[in-house]
Structure formats: C-alpha cells, structure tokens
A and B are shown apart, each in its own frame.
Chain A
Amino acid sequence: MRVLAAVSGGVDSAVAAARLVDAGHDVTCVHLALSRTPESSRTGARGCCTLEDARDARRAADVLGTPFYVWDLAERFHDEVVSDFVTEYAAGRTPNPCLRCNERIKFAAVLDRALALGFDAVATGHYARIVSAPGGPQLHRAVDEAKDQSYVLGVLTPEQLAHAIFPLGDTPKPEVRLEAERRGLTVARKPDSHDVCFIPDGDTSGFLRRRLGAADGEIRDHDGTLLGHHDGAYAFTVGQRRGLRVTSDGRPRYVLSISPVTRTVTVGPRADLAVGALHGVAARWFAPPGPALECTAQVRAHGEQVPAAARPVTDGVVVSLSRPLYGVAPGQAVVLYAGSRVLGSATIARTVAW
C-alpha cells in the first residue's frame, strides 16, 4: 500500500512509520505544520509543532529512508481547531481539541488530500487498534490501557477509519521506546507531549483571556447566594475545585455550571456534580445502533469507564449511567464502548443530575 505516515517529531509516530516500512509498504512521511508562529524549541514536555519537532520528524524520515514533506495546515488548524476551542469555551462548553484535530485535520484535511494524491491510507502513532471484521473495520482500545487514545479517535466515521492505520495499538509504550532505541531513532528518549499543543505554557485560562478579553461575572452558590466575582467565566470548567477563591462555610465547592450569557458561575458541593444521564448530539456510529445498547461510557481522555445504556434519539443519543460521573461538562464527547470496541460517539449537550 501507499501509506502517508503523519510524523510529529515524537517517538510514537516515528516507530509507527518504521513498522510500516518494515511491513513493505511504500511510506511517505509528512509533518503537519499546525502552528502559524512556531516556537524554535519545546519548553519541557509541553506543546509540539516547534521547528525542533519538524527537524526531529525529518531525522526520523532520514533514518527510515522515506521521502519527507511538511504540509502547512496552520490556517486550517487555526480555523477548525483553535477557533473552535475558543468559541466553545466562550459558549460555556469544554471542548477537546485533540479530538477535533483528528476529526477535522488528520482524518479529514490530511486524509482527503492523501487519497487525492494517490495514497491508500494515513498512519499515525495513536494508541488504538483497528480490527478487521465482516461488517467493516472496528476501532478498539489499545493494549496499553494507560496510553489508550481510542477516545480521541471515537469521532471518526467508518469511512475515515477504513483509511486509517494505527501500528502501535498492540504495543505497550515502554516497548515502543525500546524499539525506537533499537532502530536508532534519535527521538527514542524524547518526552511525551502533554497538554494542548497550541498552548505551550499550559495556561489555558490566560490563553482564553488574551483572545476573549475580560468578561467578569458573579460566582454564586447553588442556593443563589452571591459568593464573589470572577473576571472571565472561561477560566472555569465544570467539576473544577481549585482556584475558585470563594469563601463559604468551609466545605469545598466545585463548579457546577457556567452560564455564558449572564457569565454566572454556579458552584456547589461535590454531590451536586453527580451526573446520571447525558444527552449527546452529533452522534456517530461505527455500526448502526439498535434501539437500546448496553455499553460503557467514557467522557474524557483516559477517564473513568462507566456501564451505561444508550438509546439513539432523533437528534443524537441519550446515555443513562449505571453509576454517577462527576464533572461532566457540555462540549465534552461521550464515547461508547462494547468491551474494547468503540461503538460510537456524541457531543454532550446536556447532563441530567444523578
């Protein structure tokens, strides 16, 4: 097959590409330039898409002996991922930019272009497995559950999945690093990247404040009591406890909800965070769902998995949880699994208290 391997400059995508070369595929490495103003080097383990990363990606391709190109997707990434991130926060929701990037960049813009250019598939270093089955390819959790990234791939459509390759899904991360050493890939000991790649200093609320400006509002207790003021509702996430700076009766308070219109942040005890059901919109299914589905639900990357019953409705899906989940925010994705298999996903629009 002619495979386009997306290489970030990290260890995972380099080993993924190497495995495809070994398997005899005709591999071309492509580094996606996603930042409009790339930093020259990384600060610690944070961020990505620096010029140093591009150089590391090129070195990996050199070692593998594959062609290497940089595709400039900075404008596209800005429009589809960064702007979406800011807009979602401004609307009081909590987006997952990695998931959005997979949905709209890696397996949309990049995949479309790759197919048009004559490639058969796009490969990445994601930790997830694709299992072929009579009804079409299935997406499964990685063997290394601690690194599993099936959640951020749960938004893919069956068509996108049919052209995706994840060569690392069956390998624990420490083995991937050892393999990189063995192959002479210089990125073997490079730290994993964390956090949101376009916020290299990790200061999400500062990033949002620079884009959205100050937007002060009230912080009210769940019974309506005014507890204080804030200067930007987007600095808060449902379920957040730290940094509230409110004085109350000494019991811990958590963010329960954020109203983007009145800019009121409502806080309350942890018990009030318990969610028993979710209404998801923009549902995507890897297989046509039946009227009721026994499954497990996950609402954040590396989050808890809760047994649930899912019922497709006209505009999405209603997921009833068998035990409460805490800190579920609108905008997050719910991904539904049967065992290790991803059944589908939806964007959480509303939550129902436990």
Chain B
Amino acid sequence: MAYLDHAATTPMLPEAIAAVTEQLARTGNASSLHASGRRARRVVEESRETLAQALGARPSEVVLTGGGTEADNLAVKGLFWARRAADPRRVRILAGSVEHHAVLDPVAWLVRHEGAVVDWLPVDAYGRVRLEAVAEALERDPDDVALVTVMWANNEVGTLQPVTEITELAHAHRVPVHSDAVQAFGQVPLDFAHSGLDAMTVTSHKIGGPLGIGALVLARGVTPEPLLHGGGQERDIRSGTFDAPAAAGFAAAARVVTAERARRAERLTRLRDRLVDGVHKAVPEAVLNGHPSDRLPGNAHFSFPGCEGDALLMLLDAAGVECSTGSACSAGIAQPSHVLLAMGADEAHARSSLRFTLGHTSTDADVDELVAAIRPAVDRARRAGLARMGSGA
C-alpha cells in the first residue's frame, strides 16, 4: 500500500507519540496553583517555547488552539471584529481566492452575518496571488480594510504565496495580515518575525503531532476578539483548559521537523520529482498543476484530461494507492476545486485532478506503486467518463 496523502494528515512521529503518552498518564490542570498544576503548566509553557523557536516567534506570541480551523476562524473573525470595533469603516477583507475552506468560510460568514465586504484576490495560472491586485485593492480605500489573509502555501496545488511582499504592501497602509501556514510548516522555512505577519496559523497533525491542537501566532499588540470565552487562558484570547499532552506532542513534532527540515525537504523534493517524472512517462497527457518549482516539496498535483478525479481515486484506492482529489467535500460529494477554477481551469479540468502528497514515511516504493497503477486507472476512468457522458440525455 502506498499512502500518498500526507497533506491530509501524516503519521505521528515516534517522538510525538512518546511525548503525548508520557503526559497522558499525569494529572494536573495547568491553571491550578498546586504542584500538579505547576508541573502541567511547565509542560505547556516549555512546549510553547519550543513552538515559538520553531516558528521564529516569541513564546508569548503563540496562542494554542484546538487546531488549524479554529486558528483560522480566530484570526479572520477575531481580527475583523477587533478592527471594526476600533474603526467602524473597516469592513473590507482582502482574501486569497485559493484559500482553504477554514478561511473561505469564515470570510463568507462575516459577509452574510456581519456586513463584511470581501475582495477575493485573483491568482495567476500557478495559483499565486497577484501582487498588483493586492496593491490595487489596498489603495482603493486603505481606511476601510479590516485585514488581509493569504495562505503561505496552497493545500491543493502546493504553490507558495508571496506572503512577505503582501505583508509589506499591507503594512504600508497599516493593515494587518494573516496567513494560513498549515501546509507550509515543516516543509519550507517559516520565520514569523521575518515575515512581518500579524497572525499565522499552524497545526500539529500535518507535521506528525497529535490531532486536535494547533496554534495562532499573534504578533504583540495584535488582539483579535476571542471566539471562545471562559477561563481566560492563552492571553484571554482562547479560553479552555490547557491541553498539556497535546502541547507536548505538538512541540515534540515541531522540534523534529525543524531540526530535520532541510534534509527532509531535499529528500521529499527528490521523491516528488521522481513521482512527477514517472506519472508523466506513464501518462504523457497528464498536466502538473501549480508552480513547477516554487511549490511545497511534498506536493504533486495533476489533472488527467478526460477522467473524473473521484473515479481515479476509487480505482487507485482499489489498487492500494491512497491519494486525494484535494477538493472540498460535503457528505463525500466532490465539488470542482475552487483553487483550479480560480487558476483559470475549466470545470472538466478541475474535476479531473488528483493530489499526491509525500511525507516523512514516503519511500521510492510508494512512488513506484503509483507509477505502476496510474496508467490502467486513467484508461479505465476515461472509459467511465465516456460512459457517463454517452448515456446522458
């Protein structure tokens, strides 16, 4: 079996399993004042320090959350509310058109329920946000912009975004910028301080830590309205009992991926390039989506003309190759990818795509399995696509 869906989630690192397991056996609420509480608090704060170091941030800037989706919601909604409260003119959000749904949907919610106005920032054919569009949207009326949100690397096609340049543009108008760096963490260098960002989302399970914990890195002085009110943990920005085992696991994983990042990226790039070559040799008509080089090392995203992605996925699954159509699902129903549509693809091209993502357990054998299985799967899926169209009214 070949697991080529590391961008969905990647196997937990042994170091993270050990760290979580060790803490699970211990008692103590990190907010308690007694010795057990102090011990738990120390685990949380040391984990925060490790994460901060891995992310180029200060420990006080790391706000632990229940995952990436929560961190994105906190950034988008919380910054919108806070910025509008300070100046009621600020109702406009500039958001990348290829964002993950954890950003898209909070923005859409603010439009529906809070009177927000959104400018969806267009992308080029590689899925990269156009800087001139960001500049134009900002300059139109800098005073009514609540925030800018553009992801660090796209979760579907893997394209890296010009986050630092966007931040410079926005800061010229004193507009805060958030970036969802969930896919980037562990794959490309992340330096929060150097990026100039005001807020950045990361999550644990994409780097080999446990599920259910993530973080929003918030620059000092940036204070979103909280989503969760309660005990006042995490600088009063995110209430909820400190999760010492999850924090320890997240930190352990962060330590490993940061120490080994360069070596791993090199290995993943080599494997990925082998995968891309192999698929192109087997299926010359396959189209690699996203930027050819300026992309996540573990990501390969193709369209297979004449096929439907969900048919291909099923056939590859039956052949023991696990991948993803990379698009949003509602009750498992595949929608054409909004990312590919934003990149200018037509619906058929968007529906014909598959995402293969490599990670720390990937091997040459995994790539070989895919390369052996892809041609027959494409041939069969194409016949199924024709059958479907042929019997149409």
Contact = CB atoms under 8 A, between A and B. Distances in A.
Interface of A: 28, 31, 33, 38, 51, 54-55, 58, 67-72, 74, 76, 79-80, 108-109, 112-113, 115-118
B310 A112 contact: no
Given A69-B314, A109-B388, A79 B393 contact: yes
B334 A116 contact: no
Interface string B307-323: 00011001101100000
Contact of A116 (B318, B331, B386): B386
Contact of B390 (A31, A79, A112): A112
B333 interface: yes
B331 A113 contact: no
Contact of A70 (B317, B331, B381, B383): B331
Contacts of B383: 116-117
Contacts of A38: 331
B386 A80 contact: no
B115 interface: no
Interface string B76-114: 000000000000000000000000000000000000000
B318 A67 contact: yes
Interface centre among A54, A68, A80, A118 (most CB of B within 10 A): A118
Given A33-B333, A116-B380, A116-B387, A69 B315 contact: no
Given A112-B387, A113-B384, A76 B392 contact: yes
13 contacts: A58-B332, A68-B332, A69-B332, A70-B332, A80-B393, A109-B392, A112-B390, A112-B391, A115-B387, A116-B380, A116-B387, A117-B315, A117-B381
Contacts of A116: 380, 383-388
Contacts of A54: 331-332
Contacts of A58: 332
B103 to A, nearest CB: 23
A117 B384 contact: yes
Contacts of A79: 393
B333 A70 contact: yes
Contacts of B331: 33, 38, 51, 54-55, 70
Interface string B359-393: 00000000000000000000011011111101111
Most chain A beta-carbon neighbours within 10 Å: one of B331, B332, B381: B331
Contacts of B386: 116
A327 B267 CA distance: 74
Contact of B310 (A31, A69, A118): A69
Interface of B is mostly: helix
A109 B385 CA distance: 11
Contacts of B310: 69, 71
Interface residues of B, number: 23
Contact of B332 (A28, A31, A108, A118): A31
Nearest to B317: A67
Nearest to A51: B331
Contacts of A113: 311, 384, 387-388
Nearest to B383: A116
Given A112-B387, A112-B390, A117-B380, 9 more contacts: A31-B332, A38-B331, A51-B331, A55-B331, A69-B310, A115-B387, A116-B380, A116-B387, A117-B383
A71 B380 CA distance: 17
A48 to B, nearest CB: 13
A74 B335 CA distance: 12
A67 B314 contact: yes
Nearest to A109: B391
Nearest to A72: B333
Contacts of B391: 108-109, 112
Given A72-B333, A72-B334, A76-B392, A28 B314 contact: yes
Contacts of A51: 330-331
Nearest to A58: B332
Contacts of B384: 113, 116-117
Contacts of A68: 332
Interface in B268-327: 310-311, 314-315, 317-318
B256 to A, nearest CB: 33
B27 to A, nearest CB: 35
A82 B384 CA distance: 24
> Which of A58, A109, A112 is the most central at the interface, judged by chain B CB atoms within 10 Å of its CB?
A112
Contacts of B385: 116
A33 B334 CA distance: 11
A109 B314 CA distance: 17
A174 B333 CA distance: 33
A109 B384 CA distance: 10
A117 B333 contact: no
Contacts of B390: 112
Given A33-B331, A54-B331, A70-B333, A112 B388 contact: yes
A116 B391 CA distance: 12
A117 B393 contact: no
B356 to A, nearest CB: 19
A104 to B, nearest CB: 8
Nearest to B313: A69
A282 to B, nearest CB: 15
A26 to B, nearest CB: 9
Interface in B327-367: 330-334
